[in-house]
Chain A
Amino acid sequence: MNRTVLIIGIVITLAIVVVLFLGLGKDPQHINSPLIGHPAPPFTLKAVGTGEPVDLEKLRGRPVILNFWATWCVPCYEEHPVLVQNARMLGPQVQFVGVVFQDDESKIMQFLRERGSSYPTLMDDKGKTAIAYGVGGVPETFFLDAKGTIVAKFEGPISSGELQANLVKAMGR
């Protein structure tokens, strides 16, 4: 009886330790996106500045890099030049799209004027698109393949290396 109780006690204690280790060892803000491997939620949003509607479904046929950001987000300042530079470098074979939420259009315009822009930036007024994508904070970048399936998600400011590594997945290589 003593031995059985001891073994059961050790098993339960180990299980609790493992659960706590797994739970406490990871970033509490990290979200494992259930959307990976699934079609990207479709949307049509207006571009900042021009007001032109951009339909995500019409961008199919090439990989899409969908970046959620905001002007009040400090890491987004660090990330912006990386995205602009890569969009220029990769050209039309990869479509970059920025989606701004919880922000003011005039501030976005000023940000883009000061820091440059090489792809459309769209306004997500009530954050519904961000919610549909399971965005937990900005910046967050989704990689869509040519068929419109989400193949990867990156949380935080992305570097050129990380961007291209994820782009390879979106290109199916």
Chain B
Amino acid sequence: MKRASSGQWSVVRWAVPAFAIFLVAAMSMPLRAQGDAGQRVPDAAQFVGAPKGLPLAGDALNSQTTEVSSMLRCPVCQGLSVADSPSAMAVNMKEQVRELLARGYTKEQILSYFERSYGQFVLLKPKFQGVNALVWILPIAALILGAVIVVTKVKRLEQPAIADEGAKPADDGGDAKPQVKPDKSAPVAPPIAEVDDELMPYVLRVRELAYGWPGGIDPATKENR
């Protein structure tokens, strides 16, 4: 049986580790060969570095693919996410998301990779920065302003009622006369000079209830008509 010479063994000793190193280097190259030999396509590793997470598989991979794809906007559709769109472009993007998750890329890294190519256009949820911040701020500001307006209006409507409460006589048996404090902001009673005699008792009663004037007579003017 023919045996290898010592020179041949030394070649083998060098060749085996060299081949192993080449194999490892080829597998970890940032530009990964895709399918056919001689072809290489841009890869996430070039732009967002090495994976920062754990490689996913099975159900975890499926659910994460759906979650990340639903955060990406399909560039050829009208307001559809990559997860929801049946277009070929969205299918390719979803496939790439799946591949990156399987390689251990995190959600943030994948979103960053797509954002690098498409800008913030590709993110269905805009970031809180620049002009995009207005999209977040304006509705909240409008809501706060609306609340301020409503509160202001309600307070204004409540003012006469509060004034009535303040002018109401104390319930101490009926002997004590109501204390009426002159108030510049207190409502002014409309003139009653033209009121019919038949209606007068009712008008005076209403004035008494509404303004707290005893007998419906204005204590400032002592005028009942």
A interface residues, Cβ below 8 angstroms from B? 1-2, 5, 8-9, 12, 15-16, 19, 22, 28-29, 31-35, 41-46, 53, 101-102, 124-137
Contacts and interface: CB of A to CB of B under 8 A. Distances in A.
6 contacts: A12-B141, A12-B142, A102-B89, A130-B92, A131-B114, A133-B117
B224 to A, nearest CB: 37
Contacts of A136: 75-76, 118, 121
A53 B35 CA distance: 13
Contact of B42 (A12, A29, A128, A137): A128
Interface of B is mostly: helix
Interface of B: 31, 34-36, 38-42, 46-47, 75-76, 78-79, 88-89, 92-93, 95-96, 114-119, 121-122, 131, 134-135, 138, 141-142, 145, 148-149, 152
A135 to B, nearest CB: 8
Nearest to B137: A15
Contact of A44 (B40, B93, B122, B138): B40
Contacts of A45: 39, 41
Contacts, number: 110
B35 A12 contact: no
A45 B95 CA distance: 19
B159 to A, nearest CB: 14
B96 to A, nearest CB: 6
A32 B89 contact: no
A31 B119 contact: yes
A67 B151 CA distance: 60
8 tightest A-B CB contacts, nearest first: A132-B42, A41-B42, A136-B75, A134-B117, A127-B92, A128-B41, A53-B38, A34-B119
Nearest to B36: A46
